[in-house]
Structures are given as structure tokens and as C-alpha cells.
Structure 1
Amino acid sequence: MNSASKTGGIDLTSLEKSWMNLEKCYEKVRRVDSNYRAGVVFTKRRFEEASDPGERLYFQAAGLLAVAYDHQQALQDMMRSAIHPFSVWSLIRPAFEAAFHVVWILDPDDSQERMRRGLRLAGDELRSRKARDKAGKKVMGGQRNKDVQRRERRNQELGKKFEKEAQALHMGKNLIGKRVDPEKEFPKLESLRIDKVDGNYFYLAWRILSALQHGDMNAVAEVSDISKVIKIPGGWQTSTTVNDDVLISMMQLSMLMQITAIKLYIGRTTSN
């Protein structure tokens, strides 16, 4: 299989319009953030940022939007030159998933619930950090290494801090770092009820993109078109290309997820 194929039958003119609209959304985020920092208007975000969990909540959301934006830009650069049939999914999925987490933490109308979700996300990241540290400890000289000791102390400090925050938010310790279950959470998100599309469509997209990003060859075959079949000794050689309709659908759902995340972020920042 050729590692890259020309964009072929995909209408880049239509996509360019969608990309331009998405770029305008991200530009609005930057303007809103700039105005927010310069002003003193008491919005929902301003009240929430008066506490550590609330301040972290918007730091997380802004960071995740930056992740989504960066992958979206890389995807657009690729699409303007050639489609790499395997790596293209590794650009769509991170943008989609980062935006999903923004939607998940900002979707609830209740401020306390938004901060609880932010704390869950922070706890999950702490668990990931501990797992990296455990692996690193084996190659850094063990417990005697000063960097290992420093990071362990920091992990303990964060753990205690998160427990205090959970208590203040009336949240059980067992929920700190509890991973988001996409199958359960996607359908619950009110922000994802858009026309005839709901969370179930996004969950299906998440499943497909996850399989593709991790190199599931069955999934790759399902989203590919076989253009040539040549008999060779011992079997058949096929030439495949990414199915245009599937690729465009995944890109459109990713952009829709990003736009939804942006609307929530702007809404929480500007509404009172």
C-alpha cells in the first residue's frame, strides 16, 4: 500500500470553508480570553476561578482547546498536500477527544458539578503521572534518585490537595480520578444534541477513531476502498485508499465537537 495518496475526489473547497469557520471560532476564543483578563465583569467563570478547583477547570479547558487546535492545524496541512491513510486518524482523534473533554467538564449547568468533573480529570492525570513515575523509577536509580523523591513528594501533595477539594465539593474520594466512561457520558451531554445528531453518533465516531488510531486493521479495512486486486503467489495484493465519505464524516464530527466545546467555553466565560 502506498503510504500517501493525493486528496483525489475530496472537495477541498468545501472543507476550506469549514476550516475557515472553525478558525473564526478559535479567534473568538482568543478575543474573549483577552477581554476577560482585561476586564472585571462578574461572570460564571469569574466566580468559579475564585477557588482552586474553578481556576484549574478553565486552565484545563483552555489547554485542551489548544491541543485540539494544534491537531486540527496539522490535519489541514496534511489534507492540502496528501492523505496519509494511517496517520490521518492520529490527527483527527486527538482533536476530537480533547474537545470532548472540554464539553464534558463544561456541559453541566451546575457550577459545583463542573468543578467536580475538572477534579476528576485532574485526578486521572495524577494517576497517569504516578504510572509514568513508577516506570521511570526503574531506570533512574530507584528510590535514592533525588528527582524520584521530589516527584513522589509532589504527587503526595497533589493527592492531599485533591482530597481536600473533593471534601469541599461534597465529592467522594473514590471519584477523584475516576475515568470518564465514553459509552455512558456521550449520550448524557445536552450540548451534543444538535439537530438529528446526539451523543450516540459521537460515541460511535469515538469508537471508530480509537480503533483506527491504534492500528486496528479490521477497522482500517472497513473505512477503505479496494481499488485493485492482483493475484500473487500465495495470495492477493490489494491497493486501498481511504473512503472519502468516512474521512469527511469523521472530520466534520470532530469539527462539530470542537465548535461545541468553544461555544461552551465562551458561554461560561461571558455569561453571568
Structure 2
Amino acid sequence: MEVVVKPLWPSEPPRGVGYGSLLRVERGIARRAMVIDGEPHLAEAAWQGDRVHLRGSHERAVERLRFMLALDDDLAPFHRAFRSDPLLGRVMRGLPKLRVLRVPDPFEALAWGVIFQLIDVQRAGQIAWAFTRAHGVQHESGLWTAPPRAAFENAAALEACGLAPTQARTLARVARVPIERAGTVSGVGEWTLAQLQLFGEGRYDVALARDVGIRNAYARMIGVRTGSVSEDAFREALDRYAPWQGLAAQYMIAIGWRSGARYESVHALRPR
């Protein structure tokens, strides 16, 4: 299947590989393998001018990649509202095409979310990749699909790939319940549900105040010591961008890792 899309807001190839590191971006072409009806399929996207050319071996694979890249999201209201914002305005003008890079399936986002509860992001990535290599499917292109949901029901297999026993049991329980009941599982809290909502369901109005990495990026932006911003203070800062907190957080990550990032004005600290 092939389709040409003109995104509602200008787009560009992703700058990262997303949750699970299963997206490959080379020479302006993004590729992702995924399982559809029990078989591995490949979808890819190529940017040409203001159009994105999508093609894949299955219609649903193309649809899922289109969702991953947020090509149908109109981001104009966010940019109109905040392009002059004293905190994010400069980076928004510099990176106007930045998007949230999603995953093709809600459960996949939830599963990676449980694994990435680890503060050590590098270690979490190693565990996710080990589990993918052990239980995913390698497409003929060389790309790997995410492991099937049933594989995550096996706590012992998760532990064998390095996940702590408590998290392994949590993830195994999550895999056995309907996605809408994930919040009832012990060990799944606000942060993990936000990963599901932002990366798996495409929502932007998500609660990210407990995300230590984003909170530290925000701290760097306002010129204070990392770890010194409370959850309540960060929640208040994010709520200034409602209902676009998830996209605002992506911009905080984009600029907050750089040394010297600061507010353009001290007035940005005032609630509005």
C-alpha cells in the first residue's frame, strides 16, 4: 500500500528512534517493523517537500506509522498560543516541526513505560532491547518488531533479561488485563499511565510532573539545580501549556539538556 500525505502541520524525519529503539531513520526515510495479524510487516515514510510518502506491506502498518509520526495532528493552535512564550518560544521557533514520536500500539507504550520506570534510562533501554531480541520477530529487512503481548505475561522471561522482580511481576500483570484497566494494577501509577496516553494513545493533555528527566530539563532551563524543582511546581509549570503538556514537555527535553538554556524573561516564572 502507498499513500501520499500532506501533514496538517509541517513535518520532518524524526530526530530519535522512539521507545524501544525500534524505529530506524536513514537518509530521511523512517522505517518500522510491526506484527499485523500474526505476520511481520514493514512500513516506511519518506519526506519530499511538504509531502510525506508512506508505503508498507500492509494497510494497517501504514496507518500505524502515520499515527506514530503524528502526521494528522494539527499543531497550529499550540504554536499560535506559545510561539512567543518566554520559556519555549525560542526553541519552538527554532524547531517548529518537532513532534511526539509515538509507538504503533497502546500496549507497547505501556510495556516500555513499566520497563522505563527505572531511573537509569540506559539500563532500561538495554533490558527492552534484550527482551525484544529474545521474544520479538526480526523482519527480513533486519528490523525487529516489538515482542507480542503474550510474551510480557512471563515474569521469569522478563527477569531473565534484567528486569527487577517487582517490575517483572507488575508488567506480567499488566499484560493480562484490558488496557483500560491498567491503572488498577499495583505498580502502575501516574507516570506510567502518562507514557501510555502520550506515546500509545496520542494524547497531549498528560500528567508528566513525576517525570524526573523532564523535570531536570526544566530545572536547567530556569537556571536552578537539578532535583530542586518539586512535583507540584513542575505540574504548575506544565499546566500553563494545557491542553498541550505532552508536546511542551518534548520541547523542554529538546532544549533542557543543553547547558546554558535559560528563560528569556524572569516573568516566565509568573503563573498565568
Q: Which has the higher helix share?
A: 1
Q: Relative contact order, CA 8 A, sep 6+: which one is greater?
A: 1
Q: Which has the higher strand share?
A: 2
Higher Rg: 1
Pairwise same-fold verdict (TM > 0.5):
no
For normalisation by structure 1, the TM-score amounts to 0.29
